[in-house]
């Protein structure tokens, strides 16, 4: 589970890591001369969000949603604002690498709002073919005039027009060391790329970066307690949606160009949920059956808990635990929407579950562990700039402790699933291997995702494999001795 959702290791407002392009000169943080302007356009919204992310360590998705709920924009403008925010953050260090060649006194010396205005304007000119370059410049200059003064608007105009003139010259040198070249070419922290090269290989590491810069696909999970995938697929097609069955999950449907499926009546009526395909595989691995007693240790926001309840045909009992009191309602709301009654929500540190429940009291256990979240960067691009190697080392210790502690709650012959939304091997295979070495009464259980030729013991999905989130899933059986 992404550590934004389960925060043994999370800060409410995480400050950018010192190596991040977002960690700029704090002396430029406030600008008493800048004018307060209420955002009314897509570009002004993008500017507000990007500046909040840089100055306050805010999460881009949360700030963007708040802004869009507050400001009435046309659908096309909502799309543009979203593209500018996520695209600029995704390409941040590449943008800064090139922009640095045009700003004489250096990007770090600029006021944050000016720096971000140049960033998303460069993103439009360099990365978006559908927006005329002159329109991007004109809009940037107009914003600079409204928020600043003539000197700032003149500088913005000059920098961006120089970018247009020299656009074809702006290429990343190909003779750089592999990690540095990939990091600049695809805009990732160099330390992260170096780790992926070491854990996989250069070509795989580069493909991970490329895939993580692509727009995420929209996938929905059918509530099989209420309807079937075949019936839902037909219903969507009859309404004109471009859909296909998931190549990964038997409960999944891919929706192309359908917009936000959480706004549809099918979602409101509990026939579908919005969930990534990789995440849907977790419930498959748990193999929960009707009547079982199941524990979901780190449950919020509840997607996997309710999926388990659907697989159990709403028969049995599920304890859905989370560390945050305010997230209990998220799980309860999901269960109510989907008309599932077997989920009991509890609040507390997952490490204390052994104090609250007797040993060997659950048939199935899901530990969707707090992790670095490096498998969901395409959905949350801020993650790559906010993480450090120290974060990974810290979370690994917690993962080991959680798995060891919670394993005592599993019945003999029961199955415990360990899953994460990261591609970091130290958080995945290494955790499971270490656990098995210390716990000889457990063994890996093979399971096969849809459309795979053979069952596997421990599955690592990379972002490029199925155009889905990076995910690791391992099922462990407690041997009856």
Which residues form the catalytic set?
A: 421
Q: Alpha-carbon distance 205 to 193, whole Å?
A: 6
Q: Alpha-carbon distance 141 to 136, whole Å?
A: 9
Which tokens go with 352?
């204390």
335: number of Cβ within 10 Å: 23
Which tokens go with 226?
């209420």
| DSSP one-letter string for 125-152 | HHH-TTS-HHHHHHHHHHHHHHHS-HHH
Strand order across the beta sheet in which 218-222 lies: 242-245, 252-256, 218-222, 272-274
Which tokens go with 161?
């027009």
Q: Alpha-carbon distance 331 to 346, whole Å?
A: 10
Instruction: Give the 3-state secondary structure of residue 294.
Output: strand
Per DSSP, the chain holds a count of helices (H) and strands (E) of 20, 12
Contact criterion met (CB below 8 Å) for 300 and 5: yes
Contact criterion met (CB below 8 Å) for 410 and 360: yes
Contacts of 456 (CB under 8 A, 6+ apart): 446, 447, 448
The residues facing 347 across adjacent strands are 322
Which tokens go with 463?
């972002």
Contacts of 465 (CB under 8 A, 6+ apart): none
Contacts of 167 (CB under 8 A, 6+ apart): 125, 126, 133
Q: Alpha-carbon distance 133 to 119, whole Å?
A: 14
| Biggest distance spanned by C-alpha atoms of the chain | 79
CA angle 350, 352, 355 (to 5 degrees): 140
Which tokens go with 137?
């410049």
């Amino acid at each position: 589970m992404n550590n934004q959702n389960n925060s043994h290791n999370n800060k409410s407002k995480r400050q950018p890591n010192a190596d991040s392009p977002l960690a700029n000169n704090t002396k430029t943080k406030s600008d008493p001369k800048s004018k307060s302007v209420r955002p009314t356009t897509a570009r002004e919204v993008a500017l507000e969000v990007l500046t909040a992310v840089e100055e306050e360590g805010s999460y881009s998705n949360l700030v963007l949603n708040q802004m869009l709920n507050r400001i009435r924009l046309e659908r096309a403008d909502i799309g543009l604002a979203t593209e500018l925010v996520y695209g600029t953050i995704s390409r941040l260090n590449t943008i800064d690498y090139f922009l640095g060649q045009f700003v004489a006194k250096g990007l770090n010396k600029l006021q944050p709002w000016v720096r971000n205005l140049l960033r998303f304007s460069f993103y439009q000119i360099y990365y978006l073919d559908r927006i005329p370059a002159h329109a991007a410049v004109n809009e940037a200059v107009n914003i600079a005039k409204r928020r600043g003064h003539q000197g700032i608007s003149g500088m913005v105009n000059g920098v961006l027009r120089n970018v247009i003139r020299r656009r074809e010259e702006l290429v990343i040198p190909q003779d750089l060391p592999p990690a540095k070249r990939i990091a600049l070419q695809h805009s990732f922290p160099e330390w992260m790329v170096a780790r992926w090269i070491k854990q996989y290989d250069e070509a795989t590491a580069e493909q991970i970066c490329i895939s993580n810069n692509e727009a995420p696909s929209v996938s929905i999970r059918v509530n099989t307690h209420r309807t079937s995938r075949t019936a839902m697929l037909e219903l969507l097609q009859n309404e004109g949606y471009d859909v296909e069955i998931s190549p990964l999950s038997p409960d999944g449907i891919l929706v192309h160009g359908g917009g936000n499926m959480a706004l549809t009546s099918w979602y409101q009526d509990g026939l579908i949920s919005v969930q990534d395909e990789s995440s849907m595989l977790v419930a498959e691995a748990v193999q929960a059956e009707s009547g079982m007693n199941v524990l979901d240790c780190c449950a919020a926001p509840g997607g996997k808990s309710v999926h388990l309840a659907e697989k159990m045909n709403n028969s049995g009992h599920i304890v859905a635990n989370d560390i945050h009191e305010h997230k209990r309602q998220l799980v309860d709301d999901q269960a109510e929407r989907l008309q599932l009654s077997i989920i009991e929500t509890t609040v507390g540190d997952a490490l204390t579950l052994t104090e609250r429940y007797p040993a060997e009291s659950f048939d199935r256990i899901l530990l969707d562990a707090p992790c670095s979240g490096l498998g969901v960067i395409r959905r949350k691009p801020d993650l790559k700039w906010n993480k450090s190697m120290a974060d990974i080392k810290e979370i690994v210790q917690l993962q080991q402790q959680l798995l060891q502690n919670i394993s005592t709650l599993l019945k003999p012959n029961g199955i415990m699933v360990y899953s994460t939304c990261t591609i970091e091997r130290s958080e995945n295979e290494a955790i499971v291997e270490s656990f098995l070495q210390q716990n000889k009464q457990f063994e890996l259980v093979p399971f096969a995702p849809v459309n795979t030729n053979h069952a596997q013991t421990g599955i690592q999905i990379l972002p490029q494999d199925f155009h889905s989130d990076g995910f690791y899933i391992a099922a462990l059986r407690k041997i009856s001795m």
